[in-house]
Amino acid sequence: MLHGLVGAPLAKERIAQPDSRLGELGIRGEWSKRPIQVYTGVLDAAPAFFFSQEVMKGSLLWNGDLRYFDDLPVSGAKDIQSGQRVVDALANDKYGIALSGAGYRNPRVKLVAIGLQESGPFVEATPENVADRRYPFARSVWLYVNRAPGKALDPKVEEFLRFILSREGQAWVKREGDYFPLTPEVAREELAKLN
């Protein structure tokens, strides 16, 4: 998410340098000399960890002035997620840039299309682009089970997996809202592994 910049590609060396300026991202005019203020959530949790692995090639050397946020526990209420705190902080910094989950919103913050190369293509983090893997930072969440070779799965674990891979289970995943359901083809492939 980015406030004020549209479609600027993010390169490892540009974000990692402590004195990076917006001009290094191709921004001209009064903004070009402004320092880049970077915001993100917990560094060892997604999406920051995923970003450091995929974009920064395993480096954890973020900008020295990085502002990061933890989840904020609220007594008697649902915690305020670090991703929302990042977006809300960015809303007050017109020269800032942030990494947060695409589901967190603030009307004063613009979600920016990104690309892996300076020439593009630049892809927005829409539900459709994430679900069909066109969005460059779409990531999979894997579920592993502990099963000894040649042994059957615990019947309760197998029942759960069959449910989660069923149409009904995938509809539940979609309603829950934090993850996208598997494509029917992938769900069938995974179900076949249980036989």
Of 30, 36, 29, 32, the residue nearest 3 (C-alpha): 36
- Report the pLDDT averaged over residues 19-34: 82
What pLDDT does 182 receive? 87
CB atoms inside a 10 Å sphere around CB 191: 14
- Quote the pTM value: 0.67
> Tens digit of pLDDT for each residue in 7-19?
333 433 344 455 6
Q: Which residues contact 63 (CB under 8 A, 6 or more apart)?
A: 15, 16, 17, 18, 20, 36, 38
pLDDT at res. 19: 61
How is residue 169 written in tokens? 């289970």
As given in the structure block, the two tokens for residue 94 are 């017109």
User: Which class is 12-131 in CATH?
Assistant: alpha beta
Q: What mean pLDDT is predicted for residues 160-174? A: 93
Q: What is the mean pLDDT of the chain?
A: 80
Contact 110, 6 (CB under 8 A): yes
Q: What is the pLDDT of residues 85-135, one digit of tens each?
A: 999 999 999 888 888 887 788 999 988 888 888 888 999 988 888 888 888
Contacts of 15 (CB under 8 A, 6+ apart): 36, 38, 55, 56, 62, 63, 97
Amino acid at 137: F
More confident of the two residues 57 and 9:
57
Q: How many Cβ atoms are within 10 Å of 41's Cβ, its own excluded?
A: 25
Answer yes or no: is pLDDT of 69 > 70: yes
Instruction: Give the bridge partners for 80, in sequence order.
Output: 72
Distance CA(25)–CA(165), nearest Å, equals 43
91-129 per-residue burial string, b: 16 or more CB within 10 A, e: under 16: beeeebbbbbbbebebeebebbbbeeeeeeebbebeeeb
Confidence at residue 100, expressed as pLDDT on a 0 to 100 scale: 86
In whole angstroms, what is the distance from residue 177 CA to residue 180 CA?
A: 7
For 76-97, the pLDDT digits (tens) are 667 778 889 999 999 999 888 8
Residue extent(s) of CATH 3.40.190.10 domains in the chain? 12-131
CB-CB contact of 43 with 53 (8 Å): no
